Amino acid sequence: MTPAIRIDSVTKHYGAFQALAGVSLEVAQGEFFGLLGPNGAGKTTLISSLAGLTRPSSGTLEVMGHDVVTDYRRARMKFGVVPQELVFDPFFSVRELLRIQSGYFGIARNEEWIDEVLDNLDLLPKANANMRTLSGGMKRRVLVAQALVHRPPVIVLDEPTAGVDVELRQGLWQFIRKLNRDGHTIVLTTHYLEEAETLCGRIAMLKAGKIVALDSTRALLKQFASHSLRVRVTDADAALAVGGVIEDGSWVTFGFDAYADVEQLLARLREAGAGVEEIQIGEPDLERVFVEVMNRA
């Protein structure tokens, strides 16, 4: 099957600065894929190249088999992007803006789909409101609606929940999950790593324009992050003989890989004379993986 996105040895230079340094990856149709990295890692440059807004210095990018440079029109029809910045036209209502966006793609009589998108994004009450009157969160919802108005099979969300309240965020993710279940390929960039951990089946991590990790979310969690055992003890100094790191005076944190290790750690603490008063067990999380991968890179 043709990949939804294929990126092959893509570089991008801005003068002497190299924003992308030979990025290669494929995203399968129907995937929910995460693209993570610190600020300046090259995520937005890569997305802009896919959208045809920036031309790569070398390499090729394809959307549903269509080259974004030589077959731009077809590639763009298959691609929807929600930008990180709040960009909007202040002279139109929400509905007018979506009608105009439909026209850009040569789509007429699109009212039924527009209404469905507005309803799913809880924008119907604001359909006839001028864009200038909307809150920042509402404007971000409209950006999502604009990206979906031509029903693209591949959707890229660049920090879609930045500055969005919790209720709106949950509603947005319900809709995006539904689109993914219906067969749409979703690519997400976000600094809310718990979102990526929950939603994405596979993740690529960028640093300085290079991919430094690429695997399934489960494999990354298993490979890089261990469980944590946090214990409040009567004698933190005695606990140091067992290992671990002292936090908040009487709390000591240990890393472990299997739950069978917990019993051994507790036994060693008792032998060292560090009485155990309270226990907390933490699961591996993507934030710890991200920090470790960036430090290694």
Q: Between residues 253 and 74, which one has the greater pLDDT?
A: 74
Confidence of residue 216 (pLDDT cuts 50, 70, 90): very high
The 3 state secondary structure assigned to 239-260 is: HHHHCCEEECCCEEEEEECCCH
Using the predicted structure, report yes or no on whether residue 3 has a pLDDT greater than 90.
yes
- 35: amino acid identity, one letter: L
Q: Tell me, what's the pLDDT at 292? A: 82
Using the predicted structure, report yes or no on whether residue 210 has a pLDDT greater than 90.
yes
Angle between helices 166-181 and 136-148 (to 10 degrees): 10
**Euclidean distance between CA atoms 169 and 21, whole angstroms:** 33
> Is the dihedral angle over the CA atoms 37, 40, 43, 44 positive or is it negative?
positive
**147-196 pLDDT, tens digit each:** 999 999 999 998 887 766 777 778 788 888 999 999 999 999 988 888 89
Using the predicted structure, report yes or no on whether residue 114 has a pLDDT greater than 90.
yes
Q: Between residues 243 and 131, which one has the greater pLDDT?
A: 131
Q: Tell me, what's the pLDDT at 80? A: 92
Q: Tell me, what's the pLDDT at 100? A: 92
Domains of the chain with bracketed CATH:
5-222 (3.40.50.300), 226-283 (3.30.70)
Give me the mean pLDDT over the 55-65 stretch. 95
Q: Tell me, what's the pLDDT at 224? A: 66
Give me the mean pLDDT over the 2-14 stretch. 95
- Are the C-beta atoms of 72 and 92 separated by less than 8 Å? no
Confidence of residue 237 (pLDDT cuts 50, 70, 90): confident
Give me the mean pLDDT over the 240-247 stretch. 74
Using the predicted structure, report yes or no on whether residue 287 has a pLDDT greater than 70.
yes
The 3 state secondary structure assigned to the chain is: CCCCEEEEEEEEEECCEEEEEEEEEEECCCCEEEEECCCCCCHHHHHHHHCCCCCCCEEEEEECCEECCCCHHHHHHCEEEECCCCCCCCCCEHHHHHHHHHHHCCCCCCHHHHHHHHHHCCCHHHCCCEHHHCCHHHHHHHHHHHHHCCCCCEEEEECCCCCCCHHHHHHHHHHHHHHHHCCCEEEEECCCHHHHHHHCCEEEEEECCEEEEEEEHHHHHHHHCCEEEEEEECCHHHHHHHCCEEECCCEEEEEECCCHHHHHHHHHHHHHCCCEEEEEEECCCHHHHHHHHHHHC
Worst-scoring range by mean pLDDT, 7-16, 186-195, 222-231, 232-241?
A: 222-231
Using the predicted structure, report yes or no on whether residue 49 has a pLDDT greater than 90.
yes
Q: Between residues 125 and 253, which one has the greater pLDDT?
A: 125
Closest CA to 158 of 124, 192, 208: 192
**10-48 pLDDT, tens digit each:** 999 999 999 999 999 999 999 999 999 998 899 999 999
Counting residues of the chain whose pLDDT is more than 70, the rounded percentage is 97
Q: Between residues 288 and 113, which one has the greater pLDDT?
A: 113
Q: Tell me, what's the pLDDT at 226? A: 66
129-166 residues labelled b (16+ CB within 10 A) or e (exposed): eebeebeebbbbbbbbbbbbbbbbbbbbbbbbbeebee
**244-285 pLDDT, tens digit each:** 777 766 788 877 777 778 888 888 888 888 888 888 877 677
pTM of the model: 0.80
